[in-house]
Amino acid sequence: PLLGACLGVALATVSDVSFEVRGALTAAASACASALLKVLQQDVLQRRDWSSLELMRRTWGPQTLLLVLSVPLLDARADRLPQYEPTAERVGILLLSCAAAFALNVSALYAIKLTSAIAIVLLSQGKTAVTLLGGYLFFDGQPNVRQ
């Protein structure tokens, strides 16, 4: 899952180099929330001795509610969702994406339980560096201060 995430980010960083204040603020808020979530997850996993799957099972409801409430506020194209036409190909891609996200979450929670939140944040920074390097090496992306 980590390799797939790196390739996806590499493609996105090479093909989309525009800057928007709303996107930057959303990214900053996401980074802060992600760091806090990792610390809380580590505390719960280690203090209560839960498994990764148990933590996911106990938190999926509130996380889904938060996602459903935040999408209309953060996605400028959320008004198009009712007109979305699911095809077999789109549903298949969505299911593959869900399976990859599930595997990524399980492995991330497992890593958080065994290490520390700081180690996971450092790993994420390393992943970003490798992604930018991959974009440069494989997709002719030119790293600059905007990336």
pLDDT single digits (tens) 17-56: 566 777 777 777 777 787 787 788 888 888 888 887 888 8
Q: Which residue has the tokens 């580590």?
A: 42
- What Cα–Cα distance (Å) separates residue 84 from each residue in 3, 40, 80? 29, 36, 7
Q: Evaluate if residue 75 carries a pLDDT over 70.
A: yes
Query: Is this structure's pTM higher than 0.75?
Result: no
For 80-103, b/e burial (b = at least 16 CB within 10 A) is eeeeeeeeeeeeeeeeeeeeeeee
Q: Where are the alpha helices (DSSP H) in 2-143?
A: 2-15, 21-47, 52-74, 88-114, 117-139
- What is residue 49's DSSP assignment? T
17-26, 28-37, 74-83, 86-95: range with highest mean pLDDT: 86-95
- Dmax over CA atoms of the chain, in Å, equals 47
